[in-house]
Amino acid sequence: MRGTTVLPRTPCLKPKAGELPLHRLEVRAPDALPFTVGTFDTIGPMSRAAFPHRHTFYEIVHVTGGTGDHVIDFTRWELGPPQLAVITPGQVHHWDARDLTGFVVLFTDDFLLEHPSDRETLRRLSQQPWRLDERAAEETARLVAELDEEFRCGGQGTDSVLRALMHVLIVRAGRLPGLADPRPPARAQAVGTEFARLLGRPDLGLWSVGALAERIGVTPGYLTDAVKTATGRTAAQLMREARTREAKRFLLGTDLTVRQVASRVGFADPAYFCRFFRRETGLSPGDYRRTGDAPPEIHHD
């Protein structure tokens, strides 16, 4: 996907005033596979970034050691290795951890073209970090090690092998206890997955069901029915949650004014945005920004 990857040593984009840093994936050449894997040490210091930031790519983290917290969308999750976490494009995260060890797998949406249903599994996995039992930890470690070896030493057909191994890793991770798999009809699932993917791309500015339906190529009515079938929830409800979540990111992670935040999440009228935000959260944007300075609640998975 254009703009999601850069060549090595390309300077980071300087964030716009008040906005969060946006990291792009470094690849070896302009036509290289949009994928990389390695340990926290081989990927580099940014893999342990201690400041809130976003990605243009997916990140799968297999944490094998360390203490502290992983903060995802301003919710703190206590580390409990062995642990698996997924960060999707657009999510805000950073580490508040010590002695962090493990592997990091990075790839863009284009990498999933052969297995588009993996996007939905990744979305569900991104809801929280997942502590692994002994069997899952061994299986995950083996698959990630194979990915790492193939990436570093592979030959003919490496791209296909990497995509196949990644598909297996994602499918196996999708079997973790607590991840529901309702298996809706294929067409509804595909539309619901694309709806969720686009909701995770706030940079596109698609803040209405109608705009998303047009982008996907279906009618708003069909989109509404498909999303309900695929997720059990309404498109309007998920849209409200996405706008609220993105507004929270801006309020806690930037110094944008309330008017600017309102504009970023598709509200032309700041007063209407304030009423919307209060209805969804019980707080005004200003009160939420002030209370957000307190340490977030620590969750134990």
Residues 38-67: pLDDT tens digits? 999 999 989 999 999 999 999 999 999 999
What is the CATH classification number for the domain harbouring 20?
A: 2.60.120.280
Q: Are residues 270 and 242 in the same domain?
A: yes
Average pLDDT per 10 consecutive residues for the chain, totaling 301 residues? 70 73 84 92 92 93 96 89 94 94 95 86 90 94 97 92 96 83 68 86 85 87 87 90 92 92 93 94 92 53 53
Residues 276-292: pLDDT tens digits? 999 999 999 999 998 86
Is 45 a member of any domain?
yes
User: Which amino acid is present at 105?
Assistant: V
Q: Are residues 11 and 151 in the same domain?
A: yes
Q: Are residues 58 and 195 in the same domain?
A: no
Q: Are residues 55 and 92 in the same domain?
A: yes
Residue 193's pLDDT is 85
Domain extent, residue 107, equals: 5-173
Is 180 a member of any domain?
no
Is 178 a member of any domain?
no
Is 182 a member of any domain?
no
Q: With contact defined as beta carbons under 8 Å apart, do 266 and 244 qualify?
A: no
- Beta-carbon contacts of 173 under 8 Å, excluding residues fewer than 6 positions away, are 60, 84, 86, 121, 125, 130, 140
Residue 181's pLDDT is 54
Q: Mind giving me the DSSP string for 176-213?
A: STT-------HHHHHHHHHHHHHHT-GGG---SHHHHH
228: left (phi over 0), alpha (psi -120 to 50) or beta: alpha
Structure tokens at 181: 């798999």
User: Which amino acid is present at 64?
Assistant: T
Structural domains of the chain, count: 2
Is 239 a member of any domain?
yes
Q: Kindly report whether the global pTM for this prediction surpasses the value 0.75.
A: no
**DSSP state, residue 159:** H
Residues 195-221: pLDDT tens digits? 988 888 887 888 889 999 888 888 888
Q: Which of 146, 173, 200 is the last residue of a domain?
A: 173
How many other β-carbons are positioned within 10 Å of the β-carbon of residue 165? 20
